[in-house]
Amino acid sequence: MGAAKYPRHLVERACDLTGKSKRTIQLWAQRGLDLADADEVLAWAEKVRDIVPETKAKLESAQNDEQGSTKGEFDLKMLDRLPAPGEEGAAAALKRLQGLESIFYSRLLNELSRIPSRSTAVTTAQNDYNKVTESLRKYEAAVEITRRDLGHLIPKHEAQEGARAAALWMRLTWRLFLSSAVPDLLALAGDARLFKARAEEAFAEVLAVALKDSEGAKCNIPDWALPVIREEFHVT
């Protein structure tokens, strides 16, 4: 029976992550691998590497040969093909990098715990781990800077001052509402339904005035907060 059809982009991503052929990835998927989960793809590759005798033999040979090449090692060239920090897919790429860091750290610990230790294998594992962590550090920083430049992130102190200004103007609104609307509302105390409707209407009117006044004040509500407040209180 031919290999089942799987999303091409997921198969190609799994090939990049593991260095395996499309046919191999499709066979793994037939056996239950979730191609959409990058961490599971990497873990599956590690598991197969441990249980397949031929692959294990090649790995042992490369690790014990002091002058040997790194054939069979993970293809770290994929780190040069990460999407630009501001492009779609950057968040997913960052998550995959974080998964790689964990895997390579475990591999390094395994090599260090071997008795006797194998210097080439330890050096290779250390170098690979260093490459992954350095790429992760740089990519995390680049993504954060890009998100901040796009307005997706703001400094903590700016968020705190924005919350403080919103709270201040809401408190002023409440006081103004009490002084201007309560006398009229008391006349409706016998009709709870009408009282509630009029109170909400009156508060929205007072809030609309307060929000407009806040725009020119020294302690003003930030532009990114005003639309949310207006929407939640149905203020036009």
pLDDT at 187 over 50: yes
Q: Tell me the average pLDDT of the chain.
A: 77
**Whole-angstrom distance, CA of residue 206 vs CA of residue 174:** 8
pLDDT band at residue 65 using 50, 70 and 90 as cut-offs: very low
pLDDT at 171 over 60: yes
The burial of 207, by beta-carbon neighbours within 10 Å (0-12 exposed, 13-18 middle, 19 or more buried), is given as buried
pLDDT at 76 over 70: no
pLDDT score of 68: 39
pLDDT at 1 over 50: no
From the list 151, 150, 16, 157, the residue with the least C-alpha distance to 77 is 16
What number is the average pLDDT over the span 74-102?
Answer: 70
pLDDT score of 53: 52
pLDDT at 61 over 70: no
User: CB-hemisphere CA count at 13 Å for 138?
Assistant: 11
pLDDT at 59 over 60: no
What number is the average pLDDT over the span 178-199?
Answer: 87
pLDDT score of 101: 83
Higher pLDDT, 48 or 150: 48
**Measured CA distances, 76 to 72, 124, 131, 173, 198 (Å):** 12, 12, 8, 59, 66
Residue 167 identity (one-letter amino acid): A
Higher pLDDT, 157 or 155: 157
Q: pTM (2 decimals)?
A: 0.35
- For the ranges 35-49, 162-176, 206-220, the lowest mean pLDDT is seen at 35-49
